[in-house]
């Protein structure tokens, strides 16, 4: 036994006697002491016997002595013993830090997220034996499985949205952060990167909240690369490569269209949606009720939120064998200025699906399934409810007339995303594919009209990376390497629209087997 005094954050608080022993105290203490302790405890037995562990501690009729001795109640540490969790967290963080900092002279990359597209990021970066990757994920087992495949890779547990202190500590110990988390978390992560003067890469759209961090990032002297995936990402780079070359030849851009889709390979499109998930199911579903704006023949076309998008699809025949359809995506008109194509009379960016997707999704919308409003019926505290209780006969093809309970979720949309993720996931031996198509209409100085057709078709490897993982993960990893090596040195918010970024990136993507095909149609 010894007298102990609090020595810092996370330590035992206050003065007192610290007694160290094993659980079986009578085996370690003299019998006299055992009898003494027992006699002192015995009077309190009677008030403890009628207690009910399922009731809140506040409802128990305990004396102060007994109440102060309760360590946990209803699965939560009581206030006087919350320091135990602090000690646990501190020891865990100390072990993580020691592991991360174990090897000197390494470039350290923090990868946030261990999901669909993280594999190629780790694989690419760890080819360099002087690069170490920390995979931080709320799904620790998934992070551990990913880390086990590659050298110099460390898995850690992190819920970035609720563990800001841990997030900040991890950011501080790394040279660069790659976020593959939902875009809504990126401003939070970016603020910690700015605070710690650490560079950052994401594959997500540049949101208004991220754009507002431009001056802060510049002042911190860091680079934050956004939109470095497939769509957005590769689509931008292929567009700018074509547009810059056309302008150098004296051409004027009269039209621009870009359509992209992550799809199952045709032989795997065996369900009413003709679709399987290769990225966030929730994001895929939410996109179907989003608004869209595009430019057609100098007229701005606006599609309101709420499901009208699924009634605005058109067939796409540039690859007739695939039987594709497309619908607009987000606000395409915002790209006229950054692309430098204010002369274009038509500007549209959209999503590709196999024909039949939008018709089926329109049915989901009309049934109220694509609803992100909170649903009390589906909260964890609510009684189980079956799909049969929520849906009608038309949904039978999706297994929703069964007595299977609906998974707890915040909303009907979230519950549907969980359900369809299980029903429409890729099976063993199945592969996905991505199709990207850019069409750029050019007016030559001679008056000749040419349309450049730029296509990318990538299939996933059933025993390796999916097409979606490759086309999102590799661009992000390449950008990270370029930032680490000083090839991208611009400070502040960066998107891949300049030759200094897109030229080396596209060249390296070709080295990874992503080959782009360019053709032309000329009208006199």
**For residue range 25-36, what is the model confidence (pLDDT) as tens digits?**
545 667 787 788
List, as own/partner pairs, every contact residues 316-319 make where C-beta atoms lie below 8 angstroms and the sequence separation is at least 24, other chains included: 316/259, 316/352, 316/437, 318/437, 318/439, 318/453, 318/455, 319/435, 319/437, 319/455, 319/457
Which domain-ending residue is among 81, 102, 133? 81
**Mean pLDDT score, 358-382:** 82
**Do residues 10 and 26 share a domain?**
yes
Q: Which domain holds residue 23?
A: 1-49
Detail the DSSP E strand segments found in 5-98: 16-18, 72-73, 76-77
Share of the chain above pLDDT 70, in %: 91
Is 297 inside a domain boundary? no
What is the pLDDT, as a whole number, of residue 33?
Answer: 78
**Do residues 221 and 99 share a domain?**
yes
**Mean pLDDT score, 113-124:** 95
Is 15 inside a domain boundary? yes
The answer, yes or no, to whether residue 3 has pLDDT greater than 70, is no
Which domain-ending residue is among 225, 253, 271? 225
pLDDT band, very low/low/confident/very high, at 16 (cuts 50, 70, 90): low
Is 141 inside a domain boundary? yes
Q: Between 186-196 and 164-172, two packed helices, what is the crossing angle to 10 degrees?
A: 50
What is the pLDDT, as a whole number, of residue 15?
Answer: 61
d(CA 289, CA 314): 17
The answer, yes or no, to whether residue 392 has pLDDT greater than 50, is no
CA dihedral (294, 297, 299, 301) in degrees, to 10, reads -30
Q: Evaluate whether 456 touches 514 at the Cβ level (below 8 Å).
A: yes
**Do residues 68 and 144 share a domain?**
no
**Mean pLDDT score, 450-463:** 96
**Do residues 64 and 190 share a domain?**
no
The answer, yes or no, to whether residue 394 has pLDDT greater than 50, is no
Is 299 inside a domain boundary? no
pLDDT band, very low/low/confident/very high, at 242 (cuts 50, 70, 90): very high
The answer, yes or no, to whether residue 398 has pLDDT greater than 60, is no
**Do residues 5 and 17 share a domain?**
yes
The answer, yes or no, to whether residue 204 has pLDDT greater than 90, is yes
**Mean pLDDT score, 435-452:** 97
The mean predicted confidence, pLDDT, of the chain is 88
d(CA 20, CA 22): 7
Detail the DSSP E strand segments found in 37-127: 72-73, 76-77, 107-112
**Mean pLDDT score, 221-227:** 98
**Mean pLDDT score, 96-109:** 82
**Do residues 21 and 123 share a domain?**
no
The answer, yes or no, to whether residue 9 has pLDDT greater than 60, is no
- Chain centre to alpha carbon of residue 468: 13
What is the pLDDT, as a whole number, of residue 172?
Answer: 95
What is the pLDDT, as a whole number, of residue 393?
Answer: 39
Is 199 inside a domain boundary? yes
Q: Between 234-248 and 499-511, two packed helices, what is the crossing angle to 10 degrees?
A: 120
**Mean pLDDT score, 221-237:** 97
The answer, yes or no, to whether residue 292 has pLDDT greater than 90, is yes
Is 57 inside a domain boundary? yes
Looking at 14-23, 219-228, 248-257, 354-363, which range is the least confident one? 14-23
What is the pLDDT, as a whole number, of residue 1?
Answer: 47
Helices (H), 221-280: 234-248
**Do residues 200 and 212 share a domain?**
yes
Q: Which one of 231, 235, 432, 439 is the catalytic residue? A: 231
For residue 427, give Cα distances in angstroms to 120, 270, 355: 20, 11, 22
What is the pLDDT, as a whole number, of residue 58?
Answer: 85
| Sheet containing 153-157, strands listed edge to edge, beginning at the edge strand earlier in sequence | 153-157, 131-137, 107-112, 176-179, 199-202, 223-225, 492-494
> In terms of pLDDT, which residue wins out, 134 or 374?
134
**Do residues 39 and 58 share a domain?**
no
The answer, yes or no, to whether residue 76 has pLDDT greater than 50, is yes
The answer, yes or no, to whether residue 484 has pLDDT greater than 50, is yes
Share of the chain above pLDDT 90, in %: 61
Which domain-ending residue is among 225, 247, 280? 225
What is the pLDDT, as a whole number, of residue 29?
Answer: 63
SS3 of 337-368: HHHCCCCCCEEEEEEEEECCHHHHHHHHHHCC
Whole-number CA gyration radius for the chain: 29
The pTM of this model reads 0.79
What is the pLDDT, as a whole number, of residue 241?
Answer: 98
What is the pLDDT, as a whole number, of residue 99?
Answer: 73
Active site residue 175: no
Is 511 inside a domain boundary? no
Is 5 inside a domain boundary? yes
Give the H or E element holding residue 164.
helix 164-172
The answer, yes or no, to whether residue 403 has pLDDT greater than 90, is no
**Do residues 44 and 63 share a domain?**
no
Q: Which residues fall within 8 angstroms of residue 369, CB to CB, at 6 or more apart?
A: 391, 412, 413, 416
**Do residues 116 and 62 share a domain?**
no
d(CA 232, CA 460): 19
**Do residues 104 and 194 share a domain?**
yes
Tally the C-alpha atoms within 13 A of residue 87's C-alpha that lie toward its C-beta: 10
**Do residues 96 and 129 share a domain?**
yes
The answer, yes or no, to whether residue 333 has pLDDT greater than 90, is yes
**Mean pLDDT score, 370-377:** 79
Please state the domain count of the chain.
Answer: 3
> In terms of pLDDT, which residue wins out, 135 or 60?
135
d(CA 308, CA 291): 8
């Amino acid at each position: 036994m010894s007298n102990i005094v609090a020595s810092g954050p996370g330590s035992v608080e206050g003065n007192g006697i610290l007694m160290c022993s094993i659980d079986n105290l009578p085996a370690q203490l003299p019998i006299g002491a055992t009898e003494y302790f027992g006699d002192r405890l015995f009077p309190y037995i009677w008030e403890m016997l009628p207690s009910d562990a399922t009731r809140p501690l506040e409802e128990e009729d305990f004396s102060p002595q007994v109440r102060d001795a309760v360590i946990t109640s209803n699965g939560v540490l009581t206030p006087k013993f919350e320091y135990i969790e602090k000690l646990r967290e501190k020891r865990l963080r100390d072990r993580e830090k020691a592991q991360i900092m174990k090897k000197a002279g390494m470039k350290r990359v923090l990868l946030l997220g261990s999901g669909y597209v993280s594999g190629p990021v780790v694989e690419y970066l760890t080819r360099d034996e002087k690069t170490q990757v920390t995979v931080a994920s709320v799904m620790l087992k998934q992070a551990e499985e990913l880390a086990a495949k590659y050298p110099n890779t460390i898995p850690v547990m992190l819920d970035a949205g609720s563990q800001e202190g841990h997030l900040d500590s991890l950011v501080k110990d790394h040279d660069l952060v790659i976020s593959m988390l939902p875009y809504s978390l990126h401003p939070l992560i970016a603020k910690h990167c700015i605070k710690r003067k650490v560079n950052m890469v994401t594959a997500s759209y540049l949101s208004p909240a991220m754009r507002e961090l431009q001056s802060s990032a510049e002042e911190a002297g860091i680079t934050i690369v956004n939109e470095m995936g497939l769509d957005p990402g590769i689509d931008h780079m292929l567009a700018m490569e074509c547009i810059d070359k056309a302008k150098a030849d004296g051409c004027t851009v009269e039209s621009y269209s870009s359509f992209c889709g992550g799809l199952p390979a045709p032989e795997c499109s065996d369900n009413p949606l003709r679709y399987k998930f290769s990225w966030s199911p929730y994001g895929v579903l939410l996109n179907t009720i989003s608004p869209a704006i595009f430019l057609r023949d100098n007229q701005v076309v606006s599609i309101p939120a709420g499901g009208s998008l699924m009634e605005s699809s058109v067939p796409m025949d540039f690859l007739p064998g695939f039987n594709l359809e497309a619908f607009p995506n987000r606000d395409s008109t915002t790209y006229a200025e950054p692309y430098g194509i204010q002369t274009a009379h038509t500007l549209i960016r959209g999503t590709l699906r196999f024909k039949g997707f939008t018709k089926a999704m329109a049915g989901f919308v009309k049934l109220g399934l694509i609803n992100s409003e909170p649903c009390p019926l589906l909260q964890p505290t609510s009684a189980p409810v079956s799909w049969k209780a929520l849906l009608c006969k038309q949904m039978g093809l999706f297994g929703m007339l069964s007595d299977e309970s609906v998974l707890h979720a915040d909303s009907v949309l979230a519950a549907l995303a969980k359900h369809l993720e299980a029903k429409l996931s890729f099976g063993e031996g199945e592969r996905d594919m991505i199709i990207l198509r850019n069409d750029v209409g050019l007016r030559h100085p001679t008056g000749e009209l040419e349309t450049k057709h730029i296509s990318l078709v990538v299939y996933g490897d059933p025993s390796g990376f999916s097409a979606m993982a490759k086309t999102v993960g590799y661009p992000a990893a390449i950008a990270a390497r370029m930032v680490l090596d000083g090839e991208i040195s611009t400070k502040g918010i960066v998107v891949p629209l300049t030759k200094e970024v897109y030229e080396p990136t596209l060249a390296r993507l070709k080295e990874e087997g992503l080959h782009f095909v360019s053709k032309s149609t000329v009208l006199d």
